[in-house]
Structure 1
């Protein structure tokens, strides 16, 4: 890798970043390979070390490199992608005895793990309250927060909200909800899922989400706000899925009416 020619329209840090980016894209710097040190880059480009540091920061924000404390900066390894399809709530999948996440992980040869982070009664956020038609000024929902791992790597945080007046005094308040999970218990309460609505956005993570998902700098999240509707068209469960955007894809196959 040799420095490119100077350009009056490009700052020194961006010129260094452009050269490193090109080397990564071309495979001259392979996944897992260590980048030259800040000192080496500064000497190579006749620049200050803080200029080289800024160039590396730019690459980290793009998700191209990651820093390992005490070891250096490395080209990020390509990640296997978990794809969640529009059929993930199909009743036929329940016959496998696996949750949608465990089934998807198994299909791709990954080991799934789910940690129940919290189960609390609380006041709902405004968007959740609107979809469940519950008040925001009282503890009207049960909130279940789970953290999901594939091959021990964190890939998503799921916050599920249920009406408290339905969930109280049921297994829904416990870490283990029994056969068929929460949807099995909700069916027992009279809610059979017949339709879903997913609202999908991309954004940068909150500090708490970045910590749980162990996100490298610059990697966004995909948020899916999922609403389950029953046989009467009534919303009965809302879940906020926060996915690592570098590890997750969404696949929807829908009829055209």
Structure 2
């Protein structure tokens, strides 16, 4: 049987120390030299072990200072009761989750007219080639990139309305439910499909992930109004930075 790589074993030791609290949030990890002395390993093994923990979001490097255990508080994504139509708080799900965690939400976006490929057409129950609004987002909490999302909305629903462009005018920072409410389209349910996979190269760059153990959650979410899909999105979340919470009524 193949032998487990030495850096996996060292990463497991350090991971256990972090999760048990032996190395609490804010604690500095031993230097590479110290890890070499303690565990009888090479420098490359120490480097790869630390890179693994960085990829898992457990530690963070500080230039000229060392590597430290991250604050253990992950952003919590609530998948039930998140989309408030009205109220004093933000209707953007990400903005609401970030503010509840005491973090400042910001985001970058790019919207453009596009056509649905076969996969998106299937998710939106429209014909391939039908016109859609495609919007790509990068979300940040306290300036840390923490989520990517690409959404598609059928232009048959939104074209020519004040909310055709998701981040224009009064629609800036407004969640899908509240936006479509404003044009008389009432979303009444959504479906999410959750998988995980290694991060793609462009995702690693956008989310500032390291190559080792850079695993992401991928959520395919679709909103419906009276059974008709109104928006679908692919959401990418670094596993080490998020806690996913689902609360579902039992009928």
- TM-score band, normalised by the shorter chain? 0.7 to 0.9
Aligned to 1:38: 32
Aligned to 1:225: 220
SS across alignment from 1:211: helix
Are 2:153 and 1:162 equivalent residues in the alignment?
yes
Are 2:39 and 1:48 equivalent residues in the alignment?
no
What displacement does 1:184 show?
4.3
TM-score, reference length from structure 2: 0.79
Which whole-Å CA distance do the structure 2 matches of 1:119 and 1:56 have between them? 38
**Residue 105 of structure 1: which of 98, 104, 111 is its match?**
98
Equivalent positions of 1:171-186 (< 5 A) are 171=162, 172-173=164-165, 175-178=167-170, 182-186=176-180
Q: What's the RMSD between the two structures over aligned residues?
A: 3.0
What displacement does 1:130 show?
0.3
Which whole-Å CA distance do the structure 1 matches of 2:209 and 2:83 have between them? 27
What displacement does 1:86 show?
0.8
Which whole-Å CA distance do the structure 1 matches of 2:245 and 2:19 have between them? 27
Q: Deviations along 1:36-61, whole A, 9 cap, x unmatched?
A: 33333334444432333343344444
For structure 1, the residue ranges without an aligned partner over 5 or more in a row are: 1-8
What displacement does 1:188 show?
5.1
Say whether the 8 Å CA contact 2:194–2:218 is kept in structure 1.
yes
Aligned to 1:129: 121
SS across alignment from 2:29: coil
Between stretches 242-251 and 58-67, larger displacement belongs to: 58-67
Which whole-Å CA distance do the structure 1 matches of 2:19 and 2:238 have between them? 22
Aligned to 1:207: 201
SS across alignment from 2:170: coil
For structure 2, the residue ranges without an aligned partner over 5 or more in a row are: none
Which whole-Å CA distance do the structure 2 matches of 1:26 and 1:73 have between them? 18
Say whether the 8 Å CA contact 2:114–2:132 is kept in structure 1.
yes
Between stretches 204-213 and 64-73, larger displacement belongs to: 64-73
Which whole-Å CA distance do the structure 2 matches of 1:61 and 1:212 have between them? 14
Which whole-Å CA distance do the structure 2 matches of 1:181 and 1:78 have between them? 28
Say whether the 8 Å CA contact 2:196–2:218 is kept in structure 1.
yes
Aligned to 1:235: 229
Which of the pair has more CA radius of gyration?
Answer: 1
Say whether the 8 Å CA contact 2:55–2:209 is kept in structure 1.
no
Aligned to 1:84: 78
Which whole-Å CA distance do the structure 2 matches of 1:142 and 1:111 have between them? 27
Query: Using CA pairs below 8 Å that are at least 6 residues apart, which structure has the higher relative contact order?
Result: 2
Aligned to 1:153: 144
SS across alignment from 1:246: helix
What displacement does 1:119 show?
0.4
Which whole-Å CA distance do the structure 2 matches of 1:235 and 1:132 have between them? 5
Say whether the 8 Å CA contact 2:28–2:67 is kept in structure 1.
yes
Q: Deviations along 1:12-66, whole A, 9 cap, x unmatched?
A: 5455444434443454434333333333333444443233334334444444333
Say whether the 8 Å CA contact 2:56–2:240 is kept in structure 1.
no
What displacement does 1:120 show?
1.0
